Amino acid sequence: MAKIVLVTGASAGIGWAAAELLLREGWTVYAGARRVEKMRPLEALGARLLPLDVTDEASVSAALAAVLAKEGRLDALVNNAGYGAHGAIEDVPLAEARRQFEVNLFGLARLTQLALPVMRGQGGGRIVNISSIAGKITMPTGGWYHASKHALEAYSDALRLETAQFGIRVVLVEPGPIRTEWDNTALVNLEKYSGSGVYAPLVRRVTEKFRAGYRSGAPGPEAVAKVILKALQARRPAARYPVPAKAALIIFLKWLLPDALLDWGIRKALKV
């Protein structure tokens, strides 16, 4: 019997790649996103499409209800929806900062709250939260995004400990630089909020470094999709899966080096 999975943020990037790979592996995939029309090619591959805005209670409830009405169970939830509200902390309006948390943390948390009783009742399930190495290491002009992912890391750790007793496994996937549409949104927001004013020189240098990093052989979202599949299939999944290897190295250096040395390196690289 095919396993049932709901993937959020499936209209592009990592969510799309994960939905496509899971379909090929024989899963029954429910793909959720605000931009339903962009998911039509996934529908042609066999995905069931759901209009899903993770910041809207009615939308979240209706999406999960649709899955349960058709399938009667939910074996896995891939919480992928997210974006980057980049800009200097001084410049980004608090309304935008709150929206960052609504999308990257609270929307995910509400959908998870609704899914947990279902998984507990069926004797188990798996929840994969797409975090980022940005939850472990912080760069200037990304403070609100980093804060939301750092919060997701702590949230997932607590959730993993709470739900293991019910056979529910909670896994974090921590991508590093990946070639997706995500960077365009982040850089648009960066320019919007801090492209002029006292932080503009820093923004130009961050943008240059950001684009250079993506041009230097960063993998596509398919690399993350493979790790998501591994996390879903592993009998005893790890708590965290950094991807690619460069991400694991960055996390290791964050653990190894004192903050003062990391600050010096980042400031030197960005001429801050």
SS3 66: helix
The predicted-structure confidence for 69-125, as pLDDT tens digits, reads as follows 999 999 999 999 999 999 999 999 999 999 999 999 999 999 999 999 999 999 999
**Is residue 29 classed exposed, middle or buried when 0-12, 13-18 and 19+ CB atoms within 10 A define those classes?**
buried
More confident of the two residues 94 and 182: 94
Under DSSP, the state recorded for 89 is T
pTM: 0.94
CA dihedral 215, 10, 228, 61 (to 10 degrees): 150
Residues 224, 14 contacting (CB under 8 angstroms)? yes
Residues 47 and 126: their CA atoms lie apart, in Å, by 19
The predicted-structure confidence for 137-163, as pLDDT tens digits, reads as follows 999 999 999 999 999 999 999 999 999
Domain extent listing, the chain: 4-270
* pLDDT over 80 (residue 217): no
Of the residues 30, 145, 199, 241, only one is catalytic, namely 145
User: How big is the CA angle at 15 (ends 88 and 85), to the nearest 5 degrees?
Assistant: 10
Q: Which residues pair with 32 in a beta bridge?
A: 8, 50
214 as an active site residue: the answer is no
So what's the architecture of 4-270 in CATH?
3-Layer(aba) Sandwich (3.40)
